[in-house]
Structure 1
């Protein structure tokens, strides 16, 4: 029996679905704040508001209203006030709400906006980040009003890191940290100079503010983030880490004697697994608690739905020795328990994606945000001692009652050279035994990311249109240990390609409902590279869609915001080795490409610049190959996840319609 059209999950369903993120439990553990994001169809913009929930009665109250972005709610330590960020005045500014009610009070008025509020332990001050050009301060009068539109002028470039996807061209400004007194409104800037500084956390005794920064002289070739302690009273600094990697998510024990960090060295460049570190202030000693643990600390699952999810660092308990945290493992993100003795065990392990975690300081109960392939996401209480969970929000209840989601069946199989591989297969939403169905292979980006037991709107639209969907974590993916994630470096288009093709063969041998003559393939970023690579090395796919892809490593080296170092890390070659760069470039195999190819690319993508798509399109058209090129204006590398809603929907429809036409 065919699905009713009203039950199908189409691209436009994004207008109906809501994203719930960033749970924040107060220190008493009885109240929780969270952020709910929706899309306003009339304005074609996202808007988010803050909700309050009592955890004993589960009563819910909406605390902010309107069609602006209100997010990052943070309880004051005394539990009486909440600071949050809102763009209601034009730029992102700090606003203060009293728990007892009343209008929100705007605290900051900086021209470039602010981010990342962190309370002082006495609830009298708030540290935050702001963007300042050289010579500017937070107290400059011209910086306290909205700046006038700047005239078009030339851009003088002297640094290699002069552009960044999502931010655009560097304008000579730096991220700095300031503190505001919430009673007087007085501002104090605590960092300055030609470095970026990021506030992490404030010690419970009020003495230190943990800050991350890269103070190396040669920024173009530096890829570190050190942790510093700023002594609030003495106005001096102490460096905690040794400039050998990237460290962050700094959190304090209740007694302020230890600082927990998440970070890694550069042993495998950007493929190095994150570890848990603890710095003891009394002994001045930094120790890695997980040196041999082959699990990546944090949430590295990839998706296309949640807006503004926040991954915490390690969350300490009352005993100053125990903590809870998130880890990425075998297609799931898991809540783990650990302590300074090195013990680690799961508190919540299931086939799901935990994308939010908050405890309020107690290790008895947590609030977690959980998504599954058939559940976009909600909040749950988690008993950290028993593992029992209870759902406390149901933000997409009405949608779920009227629409059909496709399950994701886990797959476990071996590659041709004996490596264990993991993935999922989703059946079409109107699946009927005995019939044959086309299958689309989806390939994630990164390559160091992980498909997970999480909601993926793109996949649901494909199954709604009658396609089976196969997605796996090939070599290079997180979640399967250090050797696995590192294996892709220097081997793009090698064993990773074989892993994907072995997954296709496994499905064709295992599931008789898949039509081997009707296969499609798509992916974005690295997944776009692999899509290009696949159609240059096999004709078994009837159609392909490449998104924000790489086609030419030689030009990518100089045009991407990360090209000159990412290419060296991943391909293990530079412009002194053109032969290797070209050997790994899909463009080198364009003569072999016979598969109808749809090319989707954002015009402001600085990560994989649109010239990568242009080269491929022209090369194919010269040879009269079947191809189409779609350019998305004002869109960067994040189009599929946080781009303009109408363009996200257009993109999904282009993908589905291409496969419906050619597969």
Structure 2
């Protein structure tokens, strides 16, 4: 590293501290830029769910409660007519309760959502949509996010069965504090307030407290209950967690995911699989094999195929596969790879109504968009633009598509569009008022070649009030991961720094996602080496520009 570069990076680090300390001061206010106070006016939109009949779009709205230093979530509805907004969106859950995760029954008559309310142990609520809504209510036996069978007669969900053993004593419960396989033993487990740790997974990112030993945790199982309510039936008894239940089209099977080696702390392979079970009970069958991990199964409209994601081994390309299903749910022949000639990572699949192609989202060059894949055809990008689209949802007939969109100067809002990407319409404008009152500098794309010729992408945000010929400090932002990516999305912190008088330079060096498999894994065995050169050559490119 040259002395000049070293000084520049040290100055950037110091500048970040100064910007954090002074961004809310007079400089930001005088220039009309984004200040920390604007954080409290920022509204988020997500959890988009289109009703199967296309009559509504449900979504979660997140606001900030400044006085309580917390976020608040509500479920809203946008009525639709002919695939277009009909009237204004409105809140459908209580303003004084936290609510999120809307999902619809197959006929659109019920809207379910999650909301922990007071001492009520059941966080799952339902609202009737085929008559005057009235109060939210419970369905007996459903106390986890519901997954309806195609005919709407049954509900599956995933939950850890109730444990007959009493919780360990102590103010916060001490279950799992003493490892079951511990060699040392305390004389009185109820009085011992320390821990005996034998697992290498005793901590989790972002959490201060220790994790309980995995052997003390009850595994989540597949439950099924009549849609009218009743006592749920536990249909799996697995030694590992079940997840992501999906019904077969005829309702005779439930597909789900699970990793039988999830508690093997020395397992370095991808070993997640897709399984199947009869909702009436019976033997659980594994449909995929190891090594490799399979996830996100979804059944075709005719019930004859299963689309899913597959990663053969750690660090290898993830692809979208389609398997033909036999009458009992087994795979007929080898699954077909729809993305073998495509170098990006597909998201969870969604079938077109006629089963002719599969839709999914993926990151690409700092953006996120919708793509489609079909047998014998190249992957096609459906949506475009320097922005990130997410939370795609579709009506049953495929005529209505809803999603959220954000770019470098616009927080996420709800959009409606045609599934072929030809038209779209912005539906909400929760942030429009305060956005009209601030100056946000656009993110200018910068592409350069690193020392070995590798092309790298980044963005530069100028200071608010920038004047040509002036002298300004610059901050280099580095994302974590490394397999993540900056891009065309709204970063409040970057605009705070811009309002405080800084250039903000953020990049996607090698190791970032959205640029192909080889680029994403170029730092394997060289993390902090090859990507360092991308950062430094990027700083040079920014200074020269």
The TM-score normalised by the length of structure 1 is 0.68
Shift of residue 92, structure 1, vs aligned partner: 6.7
Shift of residue 184, structure 1, vs aligned partner: 3.1
Pairs aligned (count)? 482
Structure 1: distance between partners of 2:504 and 2:172: 47
Structure 2: distance between partners of 1:474 and 1:443: 9
1:129 — aligned with what? 158
SS in 1 for 2:495: helix
Alignment of 1:485-504 (within 5 A): 485-504=520-539
Shift of residue 6, structure 1, vs aligned partner: 8.4
1:286 — aligned with what? 335
Unaligned runs of 5+ in 1: 299-312, 511-663
Alignment of 1:46-195 (within 5 A): 46-56=71-81, 57-89=86-118, 93-99=123-129, 100=131, 101-107=133-139, 115-132=144-161, 136=162, 149-150=172-173, 153-166=193-206, 168-171=210-213, 172-173=216-217, 174-195=219-240
Structure 1 counterpart of 2:385, from 350, 355, 361: 350
Deviations 1:262-313 (A, max 9, x none): 23122xx2x4342211121132542322123111113xxxxxxxxxxxxxx2
* 1:256 has 2:303 as partner: yes
CA contact (8 A) 2:443 2:459 kept: yes
Alignment of 1:303-382 (within 5 A): 313-382=348-417
Q: 1:124 to 1:45 in 2, by over 3 A?
A: farther
Deviations 1:465-499 (A, max 9, x none): 11111111101111111111111011122111010
Alignment of 1:231-246 (within 5 A): 231-233=278-280, 235-246=282-293
Shift of residue 170, structure 1, vs aligned partner: 2.8
Structure 2: distance between partners of 1:108 and 1:463: 53
Structure 1: distance between partners of 2:418 and 2:504: 35
Unaligned runs of 5+ in 2: 1-26, 175-191, 327-331
Greater relative CO, 1 or 2 (CA 8 Å, sep 6+): 2
Q: 1:58 to 1:433 in 2, by over 3 A?
A: farther
SS in 2 for 1:277: strand
CA contact (8 A) 1:352 1:372 kept: yes
CA contact (8 A) 1:240 1:286 kept: no
Structure 2: distance between partners of 1:185 and 1:141: 24
Shift of residue 115, structure 1, vs aligned partner: 4.7
CA contact (8 A) 2:98 2:116 kept: yes
Deviations 1:559-615 (A, max 9, x none): xxxxxxxxxxxxxxxxxxxxxxxxxxxxxxxxxxxxxxxxxxxxxxxxxxxxxxxxx
Deviations 1:41-93 (A, max 9, x none): 23222221111112221532211023432111110001100111111235672
The TM-score normalised by the length of structure 2 is 0.82
Q: 1:6 to 1:194 in 2, by over 3 A?
A: farther
Structure 2 counterpart of 1:277, from 321, 331, 338: 321
Structure 2: distance between partners of 1:253 and 1:476: 34
SS in 2 for 1:95: strand
CA contact (8 A) 1:200 1:248 kept: no
Shift of residue 389, structure 1, vs aligned partner: 1.6
Q: Select the structure that is richer in helix.
A: 1
SS in 1 for 2:271: coil
Q: 1:156 to 1:142 in 2, by over 3 A?
A: closer
2:38 — aligned with what? 13
Structure 2: distance between partners of 1:180 and 1:273: 38
SS in 2 for 1:499: helix
Deviations 1:205-242 (A, max 9, x none): 21221211111386213342111112224533222221
Please report the RMSD computed on the Cα atoms of aligned residues, expressed in angstroms.
2.6
CA contact (8 A) 1:240 1:279 kept: no
